[in-house]
């Protein structure tokens, strides 16, 4: 860790651009959120929350009107079980009737509702509904605020970790939440890959790839990622990090263990107390928290005492849970703990022998039964505990984000990630007659294991408008929709005619599918293309195109589509396609005239991403509560300020003896102030709870009106001697100056050196001095007769202003440019010192001033 820090501090000092934007990395987990900030001048580390914790409980909630985050929100569940929302990751892009939702209902007391998009919203007791994206956006905005106060600037770019198995829809839900939170998605990175980046940062590799398994056991799932690390050998050459295979279990993880442990407590409670605690939301929420606590104790101990005061029905629950009992309840999971490793190996086409180590990451990897299962499966010698299980992913994500933003110089690590799913394009075959049933043709464009950042182009020889569907070949999760989107292509015939007019032969439709670096699949370009006759190529091309989809032969299944070799495009990288299907057009670099873009209409097949309008509405809703909270804070501050002021005034009035306050006030004034103070206290007690910010401020200023004259006198009495001293000092300085100037004039009169100032100038200054002296004497005389509790005869401010007039007159003289009057001429004009053509020298002006 320290090594990375040092390395980065060094690198950050030689950044390449002047204006560096910070990059925020967030590891958004089902139980915990970790964040890290890459920002110039901020030491690279995990971001701390307001109570200096390194991880933040992944919960948002309310305590009546107050919105809470982190452990505050989590802990409130015992009292307000339907106002505390945890484990929201389970609900990302989950349709209301999905398995994830039924699982969620088994772990959370929250009330769910269905959104217009068929996804889930959570319902607060007051009836307001918040979509999963909005609640997650609140959490992300909370993290953003932490980051912005650390960076001292706006933070916009964010990189977020997602499990490798996240579908396009789930990724859309992540990106939508980021946008609602007012940030921009720099990239999504698979969590195992992020751990690998962090691992590679401080290590060197050889040309021969070295394989490691990143075993990441989190709250909601267990993931295994096989990563190959290599480097060209030379010190400066980049490290290549290639994901070779992934394996995962979406229903085993820390949360499932919590659920089973709570079942033990629930069953025990029901047995002991013969009451159905399942019907008690508070009780269930309290036991959920307790299960997490007991699980942590059982990680280090053979048994734990569970104890919850007044858990439900006024019963204080106490019970002993043994690790054995807990592990028995999880017996069926045992074989599932290590399985993702072997799935990942087989996905990668490797065996355990090829693997140097199995690196454990994720909070649940500390659970003894999980660690034991992994050890038993891969052998103790392969287990590596050399990364920080909690923080490796977020730090790796930050490092990757920094390299993507290209603004920070970090170790050059080239990352290649893959998709675990077969992604296919489907379409109906052309039919000769309307009566014939079209055949559905499926073509896998990105088989499982395909690299992110790839494109493929499909070529169709079809004349009529048609529809292309993009889908997972099989359900990513049983019961999960396979369809991603479909595009309706139109205007083909017109485009063909145009192409033929410009000399093209045998035009075709080309559709390019991209699999972006962040794992989104989408159509990028759909065009009509016709090769303009070129003798050297025509023959070759014709024969090529003739093989493509020109026949309706039912037997030739796969020949209808021809994939261009991916290698010709793979190197380009696909660019990000954003969640709502906006397609980033390739730069229009001298597009040959043989290509005409076709009109396409995209339709989302299963769970659509949020539309721009939906996201704007969501942002506005969030902003509304942000503003309301800010107003509440201001109101509380105004109330606190008023209260503090009331007590201060009361103390002033009650203080015994010759206090300055007493000296400077009359009996009547103190009485009036005391009366006003009582009235204000009364108002605060009676109406204070329903008052507005303006009311608090008004009551404060009203009271101040009574106190102000006293404070004014007191301040004047304190200030007067200083101001007087200042006035007298300028009198004295001016008097000294005049005396000297007069002496110089008399020297000049006696035929000596020419004096610097003329008689008129000296007289004028002396006049100013006399006026000031006279005025000062008068007011000092008057002030002598003024009592403490009376207003002063003259304000200290006026003394200072008058002294300033004298000071300026003196300064003007001192700073005056010196004119060397010719000694030969003693005419009055030369005495004015303004004759043109005479050499004018400027004295160093400030020296005299400084001497004063
Ligand atoms: C994996 O190990 C097997 C057997 O030890 C070996 O034959 C194979 O070449 C290795 N594969 C890689 C990619 O290193
Ligand atoms: C007035 O000025 C003199 C000389 O700078 C200083 O010694 C004296 O403490 C001053 N008195 C006040 C009341 O500021
Ligand atoms: C008086 O004359 C001396 C000597 O020339 C000079 O340094 C000084 O600045 C003069 N002072 C004034 C007030 O003119």
Residue with the two structure tokens 């295979």 = 245
Flag whether pLDDT at 123 surpasses 90: yes
Residue with the two structure tokens 């319902």 = 123
Which atom of ligand 1 is nearest to 209's Cα? Answer: 14
Tell me: do 129 and 23 sit in the same domain.
Answer: yes
In a domain, 88, yes or no: yes
Looking at ligand 3, which residue's alpha carbon is closest to its atom 14? 741
Looking at ligand 2, which residue's alpha carbon is closest to its atom 14? 722
Residue 400 CA to ligand 2 centre (angstroms): 65
Looking at ligand 1, which residue's alpha carbon is closest to its atom 14? 354
Domain holding 671, by residue range, is 626-704
Pairing of strands 355-361, 383-384: parallel
d(CA 760, CA 832): 9
Tell me: do 605 and 683 sit in the same domain.
Answer: no
Residue range 3-28: average pLDDT? 61
Give percent of the chain above pLDDT 90: 76
Burial class (CB in 10 A: 0-12, 13-18, 19+), 414: exposed
Tell me: do 403 and 431 sit in the same domain.
Answer: no
Residue range 36-55: average pLDDT? 92
pLDDT at 437: 83
In a domain, 350, yes or no: no
Q: Which residues does residue 222 pair with via DSSP β-bridges, in sequence order? A: 217, 249
d(CA 419, CA 516): 10
113-122, 423-432, 693-702, 760-769: range with lowest mean pLDDT: 423-432
User: CB of 129 within 8 A of CB of 123?
Assistant: yes
pLDDT at 535: 52
pLDDT at 545: 57
User: CB of 576 within 8 A of CB of 516?
Assistant: yes
Which spans in 152-181 are helix H? 168-180
Residue 843 CA to ligand 3 centre (angstroms): 12
d(CA 682, CA 673): 14
Which spans in 689-795 are helix H? 693-749, 759-784
In the structure, what pLDDT confidence band is assigned to residue 474 with cuts at 50, 70 and 90? very high
Q: Which two tokens stand for residue 489?
A: 């292509």
Instruction: Specify the CATH number for the domain of residue 780.
Output: 1.20.120
Looking at ligand 1, which residue's alpha carbon is closest to its atom 7? 354
Mean pLDDT, the chain, integer: 87
In the structure, what pLDDT confidence band is assigned to residue 823 with cuts at 50, 70 and 90? very low
pLDDT of 479-492, one tens digit each? 788 999 999 999 99
Residue 215 CA to ligand 1 centre (angstroms): 21
What number of other Cβ atoms are within 10 A of residue 433's Cβ? 5
687 vs 391, 677, 690, 692, 695, CA distance in Å?
Answer: 50, 15, 6, 10, 10
- Residue, of 629 and 430, whose pLDDT is higher: 629
Residue with the two structure tokens 């005049």 = 738
Instruction: Specify the CATH number for the domain of residue 489.
Output: 2.60.34.10
- Residue, of 417 and 548, whose pLDDT is higher: 417
The residue among 655, 677, 704 that closes a domain is: 704
The residue among 652, 674, 704 that closes a domain is: 704
Tell me: do 437 and 558 sit in the same domain.
Answer: yes
In the structure, what pLDDT confidence band is assigned to residue 250 with cuts at 50, 70 and 90? very high
pLDDT at 370: 97
d(CA 330, CA 367): 12
Q: Which two tokens stand for residue 698?
A: 């008004």
Residues 6 or more apart whose CB falls under 8 angstroms from that of 44 comprise 4, 5, 8, 9, 12, 36, 37, 38, 395, 398
**Backbone CA torsion sign across 27, 33, 34, 36:** positive
In the structure, what pLDDT confidence band is assigned to residue 122 with cuts at 50, 70 and 90? very high
H/E stretch holding 839 = none
- Residue, of 125 and 549, whose pLDDT is higher: 125
Residue 746 CA to ligand 1 centre (angstroms): 110
Cα–Cα nearest to 316, from 306, 308, 327, 324: 308
In a domain, 333, yes or no: no
User: CB of 161 within 8 A of CB of 26?
Assistant: yes
User: CB of 189 within 8 A of CB of 159?
Assistant: yes
Q: Which residues does residue 42 pair with via DSSP β-bridges, in sequence order? A: 39
From first CA to last CA, the distance across the chain in angstroms is 59
pLDDT of 130-139, one tens digit each? 999 999 999 9
Question: What totals of helices (H) and strands (E) does the chain contain, helices first?
Answer: 23, 32
Which atom of ligand 2 is nearest to 722's Cα? Answer: 14
pLDDT of 264-275, one tens digit each? 999 999 999 999
d(CA 829, CA 653): 69
CB of 720 within 6 A of ligand 3: the answer is no
Tell me: do 693 and 725 sit in the same domain.
Answer: no
In a domain, 46, yes or no: yes
Q: Which two tokens stand for residue 539?
A: 């023959």
Flag whether pLDDT at 837 surpasses 90: no
Flag whether pLDDT at 2 surpasses 50: no
Residue 350 CA to ligand 1 centre (angstroms): 7
d(CA 674, CA 396): 64
pLDDT at 13: 43
pTM above 0.85, yes or no: no
Residue range 625-638: average pLDDT? 93
Tell me: do 823 and 729 sit in the same domain.
Answer: yes
CB of 199 within 6 A of ligand 3: the answer is no
What number of other Cβ atoms are within 10 A of residue 570's Cβ? 15
Tell me: do 459 and 605 sit in the same domain.
Answer: yes
Tell me: do 13 and 150 sit in the same domain.
Answer: yes
Q: Report the b/e string of 281-299 with b at 16+ CB within 10 A.
A: bbbbbbbbbbbbebbeebb
Tell me: do 393 and 463 sit in the same domain.
Answer: no
In the structure, what pLDDT confidence band is assigned to residue 17 with cuts at 50, 70 and 90? very low
pLDDT of 563-605, one tens digit each? 333 322 222 333 333 333 333 344 344 444 689 999 999 999 8
Q: Which two tokens stand for residue 794?
A: 């003259």
Residue with the two structure tokens 């999905």 = 98
Counting ligands in written order, the one closest to the CA of 725 is 2
d(CA 20, CA 426): 44
Instruction: Tell me which DSSP letter residue 366 carries.
Output: G
Flag whether pLDDT at 101 surpasses 90: yes
Tell me: do 728 and 643 sit in the same domain.
Answer: no
d(CA 195, CA 205): 16
Residues 6 or more apart whose CB falls under 8 angstroms from that of 579 comprise 171, 172, 175, 176, 179, 520, 609, 610
**Backbone CA torsion sign across 636, 641, 642, 648:** positive
Tell me: do 666 and 725 sit in the same domain.
Answer: no
CB of 757 within 6 A of ligand 3: the answer is yes
In a domain, 307, yes or no: no
In a domain, 789, yes or no: yes
In a domain, 45, yes or no: yes
d(CA 378, CA 580): 42
The residue among 671, 686, 704 that closes a domain is: 704
Instruction: Specify the CATH number for the domain of residue 662.
Output: 1.20.1270.10
Structurally, how many domains does the chain consist of? Answer: 4
pLDDT at 528: 95
Tell me: do 755 and 691 sit in the same domain.
Answer: no
Residue 246 main-chain phi, psi, to 5 deg: -130, 150
What number of other Cβ atoms are within 10 A of residue 534's Cβ? 11
Instruction: Tell me which DSSP letter residue 451 carries.
Output: B
Residue 830 CA to ligand 2 centre (angstroms): 43
d(CA 364, CA 293): 14
pLDDT at 435: 72
Counting ligands in written order, the one closest to the CA of 747 is 3
pLDDT at 522: 94
User: CB of 775 within 8 A of CB of 767?
Assistant: no
pLDDT of 61-78, one tens digit each? 999 889 999 999 999 999
Looking at ligand 3, which residue's alpha carbon is closest to its atom 9? 756
Question: Which residue from 349, 350, 355, 356 has its CB within 8 A of the most atoms of ligand 1, so it is best to mutate?
Answer: 350
In the three-class reduction of DSSP (H, G, I as helix; E, B as strand; rest coil), residue 185 is classed as strand
171-175, 474-478, 800-804: range with lowest mean pLDDT: 474-478
Pairing of strands 355-361, 210-217: parallel
In a domain, 267, yes or no: no
User: CB of 83 within 8 A of CB of 63?
Assistant: yes
- Residue, of 678 and 236, whose pLDDT is higher: 678
Residue 229 main-chain phi, psi, to 5 deg: -115, 135
Residues 6 or more apart whose CB falls under 8 angstroms from that of 840 comprise 817, 818, 819
Output the DSSP codes for 96-119: TTSHHHHHHHHH---EEEE-TTS-
3-state secondary structure string across 204-226: CCCCCCEEEEEEEECCCCEEEEE
What number of other Cβ atoms are within 10 A of residue 849's Cβ? 12
Residues 6 or more apart whose CB falls under 8 angstroms from that of 151 comprise 22, 37, 39, 42
């Amino acid at each position: 860790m320290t090594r990375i820090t040092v390395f980065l501090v060094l690198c950050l000092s030689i950044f390449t651009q002047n204006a560096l934007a910070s990059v925020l990395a967030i590891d958004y987990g089902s139980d915990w959120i970790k964040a890290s900030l890459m920002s110039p001048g901020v030491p690279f580390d995990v971001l701390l929350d307001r109570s200096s914790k390194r991880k933040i409980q992944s919960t948002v909630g309310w305590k009546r009107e107050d919105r809470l985050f982190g452990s505050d929100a989590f802990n409130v569940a015992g009292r307000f079980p339907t106002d505390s929302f945890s484990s929201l990751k389970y609900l990302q892009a989950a349709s209301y009737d999905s398995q994830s939702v039924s699982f969620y209902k088994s772990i959370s007391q929250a009330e769910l509702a269905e959104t217009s998009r068929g996804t889930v919203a959570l319902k607060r007791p007051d009836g307001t509904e918040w979509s999963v994206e909005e609640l997650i956006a609140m959490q992300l905005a909370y993290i953003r605020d932490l980051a912005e106060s650390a960076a001292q600037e706006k933070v916009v770019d964010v990189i977020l970790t997602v499990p490798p198995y996240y579908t396009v829809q789930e990724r859309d839900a992540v990106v939508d939440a980021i946008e609602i939170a007012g940030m921009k998605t720099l990239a999504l990175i698979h969590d195992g890959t992020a751990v690998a980046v962090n691992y590679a940062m401080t290590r060197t590799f050889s040309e021969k790839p070295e394989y490691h398994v990143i075993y990441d056991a989190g709250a909601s799932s267990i993931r295994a990622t096989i990563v190959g690390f290599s480097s060209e050998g030379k010190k400066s050459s980049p490290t290549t990090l290639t994901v070779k295979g992934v394996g995962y279990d979406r229903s085993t993880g820390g949360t499932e263990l919590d659920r089973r442990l709570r079942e033990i407590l629930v069953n025990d409670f029901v047995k002991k107390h013969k009451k159905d605690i399942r019907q008690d939301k508070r009780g269930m929420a309290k036991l959920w928290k307790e299960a997490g606590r007991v699980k942590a104790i059982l990680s280090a101990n053979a048994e734990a005492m569970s104890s919850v005061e007044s858990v439900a029905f006024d019963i204080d629950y106490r019970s002993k849970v043994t690790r054995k009992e807990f592990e028995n309840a999880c017996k069926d999971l045992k074989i599932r703990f290590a399985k993702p490793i072997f799935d990942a190996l087989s996905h990668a086409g490797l065996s355990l022998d090829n693997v140097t180590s199995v690196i454990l990451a994720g909070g649940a990897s500390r659970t003894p039964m999980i660690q034991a299962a992994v050890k038993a499966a891969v052998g103790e010698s392969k287990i590596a505990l050399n990364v920080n299980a909690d923080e490796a992913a977020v730090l790796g994500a930050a490092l990757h984000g920094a390299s993507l933003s290209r603004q920070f110089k970090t170790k050059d690590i080239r990352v290649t990630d893959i998709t675990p799913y077969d992604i296919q394009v489907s379409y109906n075959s052309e039919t000769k007659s309307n009566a014939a049933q079209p055949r559905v043709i499926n073509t896998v464009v990105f088989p499982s294991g395909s690299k992110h950042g790839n494109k493929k182009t499909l070529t169709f020889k079809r004349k009529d408008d048609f529809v292309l569907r993009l889908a997972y070949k099989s359900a990513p999760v049983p019961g999960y929709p396979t369809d991603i989107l479909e595009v309706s292509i139109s205007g083909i015939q017109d485009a063909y005619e145009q192409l033929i007019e410009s000399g093209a032969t045998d035009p075709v439709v080309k559709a390019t599918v991209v699999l972006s670096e962040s794992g989104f699949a989408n159509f990028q370009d759909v065009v009509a293309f016709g090769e303009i006759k070129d003798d050297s190529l025509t023959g070759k091309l014709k024969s090529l195109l003739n093989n493509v989809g020109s026949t309706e032969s039912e037997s030739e299944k796969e020949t209808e589509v021809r994939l261009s070799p991916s290698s010709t495009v793979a190197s380009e990288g696909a660019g990000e396609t954003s969640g709502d299907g906006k397609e980033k057009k390739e730069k229009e670099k001298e597009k040959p005239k043989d290509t005409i873009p076709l009109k396409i209409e995209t339709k989302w097949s299963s769970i659509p991403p949020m539309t721009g309008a939906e996201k704007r509405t969501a942002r506005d809703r969030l902003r509304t509560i942000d503003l309301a909270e800010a107003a509440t804070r201001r109101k509380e501050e105004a109330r606190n300020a008023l209260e503090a002021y009331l007590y201060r005034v009361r103390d002033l009035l009650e203080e015994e003896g010759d206090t300055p306050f007493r000296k400077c006030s009359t009996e009547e004034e103190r009485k009036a102030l005391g009366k006003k103070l009582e009235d204000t206290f009364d108002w605060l007690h009676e109406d204070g709870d329903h008052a507005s910010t303006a009311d608090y401020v008004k009551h404060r200023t009203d009271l101040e009106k009574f106190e102000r004259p006293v404070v004014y006198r007191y301040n004047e009495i304190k200030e007067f001697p200083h101001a007087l001293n200042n006035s007298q000092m300028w009198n004295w300085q001016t008097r000294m100056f005049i005396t000297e100037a007069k002496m110089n004039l008399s020297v000049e009169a006696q035929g000596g050196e020419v004096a610097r100032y003329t008689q008129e100038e000296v007289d004028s200054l002396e006049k100013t001095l006399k006026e000031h002296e006279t005025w000062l004497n008068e007011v000092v005389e008057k002030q002598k007769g003024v009592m403490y509790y009376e207003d002063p005869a003259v304000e200290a401010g006026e003394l200072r202003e008058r002294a300033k007039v004298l000071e300026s007159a003196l300064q003007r003289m001192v700073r005056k440019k010196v004119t060397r009057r010719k000694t030969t001429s003693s005419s009055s004009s030369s005495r004015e010192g303004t004759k043109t053509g005479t050499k004018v020298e400027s004295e160093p002006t400030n020296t005299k001033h400084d001497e004063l």
